[in-house]
Chains A and B, each alone.
Chain A
Amino acid sequence: GAVVSQHPSWVICKSGTSVKIECRSLDFQATTMFWYRQFPKQSLMLMATSNEGSKATYEQGVEKDKFLINHASLTLSTLTVTSAHPEDSSFYICSAQAIRTGGVAGYTEAFFGQGTRLTVV
């Protein structure tokens, strides 16, 4: 099946610094990728839709200048948390959609990266 790889798995950074998280589709091309944020014991919250070659679409309440998204190729999207603060500490997960073999015919599934745990100290 489709594989999405996310890097790094865990990062600790100082308050005020910026952190870049990469999301790669390894065996398929993804014109669209999605970035989610997850706080402990909570659900995944969609942050933005990353579109290859164009600007990302952000969900309401997500600061686009804080969370910079770049989707420069069909296999790579990056999320940069700028001037990170402790309240940005969270689990960030990316996904890309592809047809799943064995799933409901004609529908795409969201394949997820393994997630990045960001801790800002």
Chain B
Amino acid sequence: GESVGLHLPTLSVQEGDNSIINCAYSNSASDYFIWYKQESGKGPQFIIDIRSNMDKRQGQRVTVLLNKTVKHLSLQIAATQPGDSAVYFCAENLTGNQFYFGTGTSLTVIP
């Protein structure tokens, strides 16, 4: 598989600050990407998606940026809240095929 099992990097932010979570993907042919949020003991939950012909997409309090040149995705969370504390994964997809997950980042929001 293309995902690599590594220990999660961590990010701590103060409540109300903005968070930026980064992800490097592996396949330059991947054309669709999703950010997922995973809380402890639960399956991943969809946050936002983006396709490869876009470089930015905005949702409610979240923005995803895609840089295909360096195969990099970022997730920006505005006004981070305690409920945002979780592990965040990016997933890459080549249309019709499997999703492969990045390493993930553990976000802790400090009240």
Q: For chain B, give the interface size range.
A: 20 to 34
Supposing A95-B99, A110-B91, A115-B41 touch, asked if A44 and B46 sit within 8 A by C-beta, the answer is: no
Give every chain B residue within 8 A of A113 (Cβ-Cβ).
43
B51 within 8 A of A: yes
B1-26 interface with A by 8 A CB criterion? 1, 3-8
B77 within 8 A of A: no
Q: Do B101 and A44 touch across chains, with their CB atoms under 8 A apart?
A: yes
Q: Do A114 and B1 touch across chains, with their CB atoms under 8 A apart?
A: no
Q: Do B49 and A93 touch across chains, with their CB atoms under 8 A apart?
A: no
Q: Do A107 and B32 touch across chains, with their CB atoms under 8 A apart?
A: yes
Tally chain A residues at the interface, Cβ within 8 Å.
30
Q: Do A109 and B46 touch across chains, with their CB atoms under 8 A apart?
A: yes
> What are 28 A-B contacts with C-beta separation under 8 Å?
A4-B43, A34-B99, A41-B7, A42-B104, A43-B3, A43-B101, A44-B3, A44-B89, A45-B5, A46-B99, A49-B98, A91-B41, A95-B99, A97-B99, A100-B46, A103-B46, A104-B54, A107-B32, A107-B49, A109-B34, A109-B46, A109-B49, A110-B34, A110-B91, A110-B99, A114-B43, A115-B41, A115-B42
